Amino acid sequence: MSKLSRRRFIFTAGATAVGTAILHGCATPNNTATSPSPAGSPAASPAASGETPEVTTAKLGFIALTDAAPLIIAKEKGLFAKHGMPDVQVMKQASWAATRDNLELGSAGNGIDGSHILSPMPYLMTLGKITKQPVPMYILARLNTNGQAISISKSHADLKLDLDSSKLKETLTKAKSAGKEMKAAVTFPGGNHDLFMRYWLSAGGIDPNNDISLIVVPPPQMVANMKVGTMDAFCVGEPWNAQIVSKGLGYTALITGEFWKDHPEKAFALRADWVDKNPKAAKALTMAVLEAQQWCNDPANVKEMCEIISGREWLKIDPADILGRMQGNIDFGDGRKIENSPVAMKFWADNASYPYKSHDTWFVTEDIRWGYIPADTDIKALVDKVNREDIWREAAKALNVPADQIPTSTSRGVETFFDGVKFDPENPQAYLDSLKIKKI
C-alpha cells in the first residue's frame, strides 16, 4: 500500500462576492498568437437561442491555486450571468479532500455541484475509490496545461536537483542509515501532483513506495510546512512554488512543462447527476468557463487577472507571486532563470481547454500503475463515461470558436516524457509493461 494517508480536512467554504463587471471582448478577444481570433457573430443570449438554463445557480468549488483563474474570472467578469446563470457561487475549499467530500454531498446536502479539480479525481470518485460510495462525475473542460512544479527545501541546496532525481539517491541512503526519513509532499493520493512526483522519482531509480515517504498536504499549506521542516520536497501548482523562492525557503527543481510539454492539468468537473438533470445549465457553465479561459490567455489581461485572483476572497496573496511565472519568467531560486518559457501555464492556447481523452487515459493508467485503480479496469470505457468532451464541443461552437481551435480528434497522440519514455493512448498496457518501478 502507498504511504499516502487518506486525510479528511475540515471544510471551510467562503461564498464569493457577486461580480458585477461585464467582460468586454471575451467572445472575440485580440487576435494574438496566444489568444483565439475573432470569428463570426457574438454568441446569442441564452433566451434568444432557446437555450435558457434549467436553473440560474450552481455551487462550484476551487482551491487557492493560479489554475483556478477561469472559474474566478468567469464569476468576477459576469460571464456566468451572461450565459443565464447569475446566481453561481464560486466557493473556496480547504483541500482536495474537502473538495471531494463536498462533491459527494452535492449542493442538496450543503456541498457543491462541481469544481476546479485534479483531473484524476473524477475517475477515482466515479469508481468509488475515494468516496463512501461511487459518485459519478463528468469532466467538461481542462482548465489549463503546465504551471506546476517540484520544489526542494533549501536544506538540500547542495544537491542542485533538476529533472534528474537520481541525485537524491545518496542522500536518501544516508538518511535511512541515520534512522531518518525524507518526506515529499503531494496534494492528494492519486492526483496530478502525486503522479508527477512518483514519475519523477521513479525515472531516477527511486521507489516512491519504499525509498521516500510521500505525505499529503493541501496546496495553500505547502509553504508553511516547508518553513517548519515538515517536508524536504513538494509538488504543487502555483503560486506556492514561486513563494518558496521569494521567501528564501527553497528552490524549484523543475517546472512540469519540462517534465511533459503542455501536459494536462486541472479540470472543470460537475456531478453527473447534476449535468443529466440540467444539461442546458451545464453547457452554459462550460461556455462561461471557456470564455474566461480565452480572456485569461490574452497577454494583455494577465496583469489584471493576477490582481483579481490574488484578492482576499480568492488566493489572498501578493500578485507579484503570481505574475512572474504566469508571464513565463521563472526564477528557480538556485541561480537558474528563464524568460518567456514556452511551457508556462496556458488556459486556451494550443488546445489547453479541450479535455483530450488520451490525457485522461494517461491519468487512469498511472493510477493503475500505483494501485489506486484496479489493474483489470476497462480504461476506455471509464474514460468514455467520465470525459464529456462533447459538451465542450457544443459550448465552443455556441461561442463561435473558430474551427481550427476545435480539435478534430479526442486523442493528442503519442506523448513523450522528459526521460524519453513514450505513452501511446491506444496501448496503455504496453506502457505499463515497460515501466520498471510500479506497484502492480
- Domain enclosing residue 287, as ranges: 57-146+263-325+345-355+376-410
pLDDT at residue 46, as a whole number: 63
Please give the pLDDT value at position 5: 37
Q: Supply the CATH number for residue 293's domain.
A: 3.40.190.10
Do the domain assignments include residue 279? Answer: yes
Please check whether residue 218 lies inside any domain of the structure. Answer: no
pLDDT by residue for the chain (440 residues), tens only, comes to 443 333 333 323 333 333 333 333 333 333 333 333 333 344 555 644 668 999 999 999 999 999 999 999 999 999 999 999 999 999 999 999 999 999 999 999 999 999 999 999 999 999 999 999 999 999 999 999 999 999 999 999 999 999 999 999 999 999 999 999 999 999 999 999 999 999 999 999 999 999 999 999 999 999 999 999 999 999 999 999 999 999 999 999 999 999 999 999 999 999 999 999 999 999 999 999 999 999 999 999 999 999 999 999 999 999 999 999 999 999 999 999 999 999 999 999 999 999 999 999 999 999 999 999 999 999 999 999 999 999 999 999 999 999 999 999 999 999 999 999 999 999 999 999 999 999 98
Integer Cα distance of 338 and 423 in angstroms: 28
Q: Is the peptide bond before 239 cis (omega within 30 degrees of 0)?
A: yes
- 50 inside domain: no
**Count of residues for the chain?**
440
- Asked whether residue 330 is assigned to any structural domain, the reply reads no
DSSP assigned state of 401: -
Q: How far apart are CA 399 and CA 393, in angstroms?
A: 10
Phi and psi (nearest 5°) for 383?
-65, -40
Asked whether residue 240 is domain-assigned, the answer is no
Q: Is residue 427 domain-resident?
A: no
Is residue 403 included in any domain, yes or no?
A: yes
Relative to beta strand 183-186, strand 213-216 is parallel
- Is residue 236 classed as helix, strand or coil in its secondary structure? strand
Query: In angstroms, what CA-CA distances link 158 with 171, 223, 227, 254, 344?
Result: 11, 20, 18, 16, 26
Dig out the grid coordinates for 250 from the structure. 527553497
Q: How far apart are CA 274 and CA 265, in angstroms?
A: 23
For 147, 201, 398, 403, the CA distances from 431, given in Å and listed in that order, are 25, 17, 38, 33
Report the predicted TM-score, pTM, of the whole model to 2 decimal places. Answer: 0.90
Q: Is the dihedral of CA 249, 319, 146, 271 positive or negative?
A: positive
Whether 97 maps to a domain, the answer reads yes
Q: List the alpha helices (DSSP H) in 50-191.
A: 69-76, 79-82, 96-105, 121-126, 169-177
Q: What is the pLDDT of residue 440?
A: 80
Torsion, CA 118, CA 120, CA 126, CA 128, rounded to 10:
-100
Give residues with Cβ within 8 angstroms of 2, minimum separation 6. 189, 209, 214, 370, 371, 372, 439
**The pLDDT of residue 20:** 30
Q: Between the CA of residue 216 and those of 240, 315, 397, what are the distances in Å?
A: 15, 20, 40
**Helices 389-398 and 279-297, packing angle to 10 deg:** 70
pLDDT the model gives residue 50 = 66
Q: How many domains does the chain have?
A: 1
